[in-house]
A and B are shown apart, each in its own frame.
Chain A
């Protein structure tokens, strides 16, 4: 095994160049001032951005929960469906992903606008118009729409591997469908759920495109602030890097908490 580890070296090189080095640069910027001298001032200014951080974390969390509520049943149904149905559902799930992320979000803009698709259709039957665009709800919708597949896929791939015999065994032992789900499917699918949550939460918290297009510049997220600090009219890479670092740490902490929860559940599952 060890002997063959060199085959991963191209990837390791990739990781060093495109992950480790940039990460080191973020840290370097975060702890220096514009002259390059060491300082903690950037980290200290983070307090003024706490509102954005909180908003982003809350909206990311809401989007993640919604993705979980929507995605989990889909993943379950998919994993139990016939091969053809599984492939079809998978295709339908992936089809929108072939289109560019920006275009997909742009499309939602025209769907949700006051003169948009939904309000035009509702107008024909005499309802509305509803104000949907440029609200927190629109931003969360954008997050859910764009990141839902990242919730479904990991859960599906874990559930698909649950062997049929486990269901039969549960049946033999007299478990009804609810019990089978609670005692067999749920504990075994948790690793997929954890992966899904990570894969939805992280891009949701750090997005800035969705909030700009569907939020109309209102309800800015921390990603918007970081973007402005790098390419705005008053660029400040040092504070921008410090904010990015804090965001990363916050995400890592929430992941660690999730992981703990996951481990706890697994031992709990064994005890049952």
Chain B
């Protein structure tokens, strides 16, 4: 017995030792310049070398000799909290539209020097001067997408699926099998879209109606999650959930029965690369952004993460399945979607109070 235990233990130790070693060896053979670029991005949002894909950060290190320190955040607000105090080591951030607007307003972003980002020319014209950065001086589009409803076609009746509305998330038949966003903005966004309101409404009566809608939905909801929605949908633990369209690609690899659609009023977003004022190495940051806009790198990222690329030359090289209407909604479809704007502090506080009240509805 003891011998078996010792064997198991040593095997476990060896395994961990090897993974540590192989983790280090990735950086071998890089002619280091001693420069470092700190990149702060969403989780699972870059091609990382899995399944034969390009390891984008390693490739950047190899070509430039600049070491990449790569960090993840799971919400725009988390990212904001980290860079707000100005002492964090961050050179490149990739937040969403409304957060970029806020950062610009608060003078927290550096203007980019586009002569250092020649590959900016690859970015399609329509992504260059978005509403959140009207002069286009602060941001370079990285990906774009929409919120969508995902469902497991094994368990959800095709007759219950109406691709124009959000009603599936309120369908009593699937009580306990429905997931919901655990961040107030996205969750209220779903209710606003369902009721036909603007996703940026600050009208207290409309927001109250949305709250009532979420209260109505609450008993049907299995749980409120962020990234865990992915795992729960993949494993079949839940069968209906709102999520972001680009994740469908990876999700289908784990569960081929997952289908999705973008209902009316969905949120459409652009995540863009920016340089915060707390940046320590602006030239390295611009090199990194330039690298990410290079066609082969952008293609590797688009293939790996599944979100829509703002570079037509990249889109043209993707297979048909990856460029379907679901991943690249048409302009007509997008006309029905809405971009988030930064809400006033009063509205955010109001929503936060409502959100606490919703979370406190016990249904055990």
Contacts and interface: CB of A to CB of B under 8 A. Distances in A.
Interface stretch (B17-25, B104-112, B195-203, B223-231): B223-231
B359 A230 contact: no
Given A228-B352, A234-B351, A218 B223 contact: yes
A220 B236 contact: no
B362 A218 contact: yes
B81 interface: yes
A114 interface: yes
Contacts of B235: 110, 113, 115
Contact of A231 (B5, B77, B223): B77
Contacts of A224: 359
A233 B352 contact: yes
Contacts of B356: 220, 225, 228
A110 B5 CA distance: 26
Given A231-B81, A232-B184, A233-B183, A88 B5 contact: yes
Given A225-B356, A231-B75, A231-B81, A136 B236 contact: no
Nearest to A135: B364
A121 B228 CA distance: 23
A187 interface: no
- Chain B at the A interface: mostly helix, strand, loop or mixed? helix
A115 B349 CA distance: 37
A235 B352 CA distance: 9
Contacts of A233: 77, 183-185, 348, 351-352
B182 interface: yes
A100 to B, nearest CB: 12
A234 B352 contact: yes
Interface string B183-226: 11100000000000000000000000000000000000011110
A236 B184 CA distance: 15
Categorize the interface residue count of chain B. 35 or more
Interface residues of A, number: 34
B87 interface: no
B137 to A, nearest CB: 26
Contacts of A236: 349, 352
Interface string A90-110: 010001000000000000011
Given A113-B237, A114-B237, A136-B364, A217 B182 contact: yes
A134 B237 CA distance: 12
Given A110-B235, A218-B359, A134 B223 contact: yes
A5 to B, nearest CB: 32
B78 interface: yes
A116 interface: yes
B354 to A, nearest CB: 10
B241 to A, nearest CB: 12
Interface in A13-69: 51-52
Nearest to B182: A217
Contacts of A134: 222-223
B81 A235 contact: yes
B189 to A, nearest CB: 11
Nearest to A131: B176
A213 interface: yes
B158 interface: no
B2 interface: yes
A191 interface: no
Interface in A227-272: 228, 230-236
B363 interface: yes
A143 to B, nearest CB: 17
B81 A230 contact: yes
Interface in A127-172: 133-136
Interface in A196-236: 212-213, 215-220, 224-225, 228, 230-236
B51 interface: no
Contacts of B237: 113-116
Contacts of A109: 228
B272 to A, nearest CB: 19
B115 interface: no
Given A115-B235, A216-B222, A232 B362 contact: no
Nearest 9 A/B pairs, CB to CB: A216-B223, A217-B224, A234-B348, A234-B352, A231-B78, A113-B237, A231-B81, A234-B349, A220-B359
Interface of B: 2, 5, 9, 75, 77-78, 80-81, 176, 182-185, 222-225, 228, 231-232, 235-237, 345, 348-349, 351-352, 355-356, 359-360, 362-364
Interface of A: 51-52, 84, 88, 91, 95, 109-110, 113-116, 133-136, 212-213, 215-220, 224-225, 228, 230-236
Given A113-B235, A218-B364, A228-B355, 12 more contacts: A91-B5, A133-B223, A218-B359, A220-B359, A224-B359, A231-B81, A232-B77, A233-B77, A233-B184, A233-B348, A233-B352, A234-B184
